[in-house]
Amino acid sequence: MNAKKENITHLFFDAVTKFPNKSAIIEGDRYITYDELADEVKKTAAYFWDQGIRPGDRVLVFVPMSIELYRVVLALFYIGASAVFLDEWVSKERLLLCCRIADCKAFIGTTKARVLCFFAKEIRKIPIKLSLKKRSSRNIASVEVNQEATALITFTTGSTGIPKAADRSHRFLTDQFLILKEKIKTDPSDVDMPVLPIFLFINLAVGCTSVIAKFNSRKPQSLNPKVIIDQIQLHQVNRIIASPFFIRTLSEYMIEQDVRLSTIRNIFTGGAPVFPKEALVYCKAFPDAEVLIVYGSTEAEPISSISAEAIVEDPLLLHKGLPVGEIHPKTQLKIINMTSEDIPSIENFDDLDLDEEKVGEIIVAGEHVLKKYFNNPRAFAANKIISNGETWHRTGDSGFVKNGKLFLTGRCKQLIFNNGEIISPFIEESKLLSIDGISMGTFMSCRNQLMLIVESKLSKERIKELVSTFTFDHLKVLSQIPRDPRHFSKIDYARLATMI
């Protein structure tokens, strides 16, 4: 097969050839082998084809993380169609907006999602409604596709504005697979618990076994660590890939209950900052495991990585920025002057590039860095820079490089300019986290006044004593600071601003 026309599913079918009888995915009491999943993928692909789905067609997939999700998405890839994937936590309003952007030919979802079709105009307008249960026994071959053809469209986190639809081609997914496989050292012998859905695709290409956690991502606070521990022990899981919220909740329970999970050798987490206090919890709960924190985004992953142990060892670094480790060798990275303006195509970065240890916006380029958004030229203009044919991604994060290592100082738009001084709420948040009795906190500028917001069960008088070394004009105490809906780990600044 011509490499330029190779379908991304060949990675999965190569693993099927090598490990036909091995469990591919374990979901509750259900086990499916690689050979069984391959058969299911082909039958589902044939059914889709019979329903009129063709190469290049976009199909909205509203299925939770399950065996069914991977069967459906692989079947769409198999016939050259594009899977448009929406997270479970997305609101109805956000769902409808994403539907308008994606302009899908077909929809497939759970029974609950199909009921939504009757009440959601944008979903009703989708011409073809596919069944999760139906298959076809007719044999069809995988469709050869141009490597730049869209395979997967995912919507980036955000609750305001026009959603950014990340357009992942077959080539992009292949490049990302190769880099992440090397970074997380996936091996066919692994039994992995990938709570972040994209990583299970990597496992299916490698040939290891994936255990789906009994965890409802729509209701992160319902996470029951005891249930997760039982799964890990039953299936002898040796790796976990999950959000910081998931790892922290599991770790705190293990410490409190004096539980040890001796089979766990590796933990990978990302999607939100991990400060020393939290990293220490990881190390205490998993003293024999390597815990790696990966910094990246939907558009560029990985950018850099650091071990939890390294963060714990040098907490004093936090006075300037949060260390996120060495830059990945396949990632080109620059620190440029911060600006809210679009940056047009430029020949070089001489006028924008900053010296080492200077704080600016982090931009990245590389084969695994997203080159385009679907149907959103405004997002492209705001987030991409073209230089000599290379597409650079503006992360929106501020930071600096020192001795080849990257440090974060928070989102560019969250920096506060107060009396000629730049205040990084991100750095102040780490200091607040180190105070017993404060579970989260941040700073915001409100009508030219510096407001300190903390999440705590303590009295306001006691909190004033604890934060006496901080400079602020007003103090606001909340029972809970809103978190991002995807990982439940980062502060949702937009929602917080409306609250105060």
Residue ranges of domains in the chain: 3-168, 185-295, 318-412, 415-499
Chain segment 333-383, per-residue pLDDT in tens: 999 999 999 998 888 888 899 999 899 999 999 999 999 999 889 999 999
Is cis: bond before 302, omega within 30 of 0?
yes
User: Is the pLDDT score of 160 beyond 70?
Assistant: no
Architecture in CATH of 3-168: 3-Layer(aba) Sandwich (3.40)
User: Is the pLDDT score of 316 beyond 70?
Assistant: no
User: Is the pLDDT score of 2 beyond 60?
Assistant: no
How far, in Å, CA of 47 to CA of 411, rounded?
A: 45
Q: Which residues pair with 475 in a beta bridge?
A: 452
Domains 3-168 and 185-295 alike in fold? yes
Full-model pTM: 0.89
Q: Which residues pair with 290 in a beta bridge?
A: 266
User: Is the pLDDT score of 157 beyond 60?
Assistant: no
What is 30-85 written as a DSSP string? Answer: EEEEHHHHHHHHHHHHHHHHHTT--TT-EEEEE--SSHHHHHHHHHHHHTT-EEEE
Fold of 185-295: Rossmann fold (3.40.50)
- Other C-beta atoms lying within 10 Å of the C-beta of residue 37: 21
Chain segment 244-280, per-residue pLDDT in tens: 999 999 999 999 999 999 999 999 999 888 988 899 9
Q: Assign domain 415-499 one CATH number from 3.30.300.30, 3.30.56.10, 3.20.20.70, 1.10.3720.10.
A: 3.30.300.30
The amino acid occupying position 89 is W
Burial class (CB in 10 A: 0-12, 13-18, 19+), 487: buried
Q: How much is the pLDDT for 19?
A: 98
Question: In Å, how far from its chain's centre is CA 391?
Answer: 21
How far, in Å, CA of 346 to CA of 389, rounded?
A: 10
* Residue with the larger pLDDT of the pair 484 and 189: 189
CB 48 within 8 A of CB 74: no
Fold of 318-412: Luciferase; domain 3 (2.30.38)
User: Is the pLDDT score of 1 beyond 50?
Assistant: no
Q: How much is the pLDDT for 117?
A: 65
* Residue with the larger pLDDT of the pair 175 and 159: 175
Alpha-helix runs per DSSP H in 425-492 = 425-433, 460-466
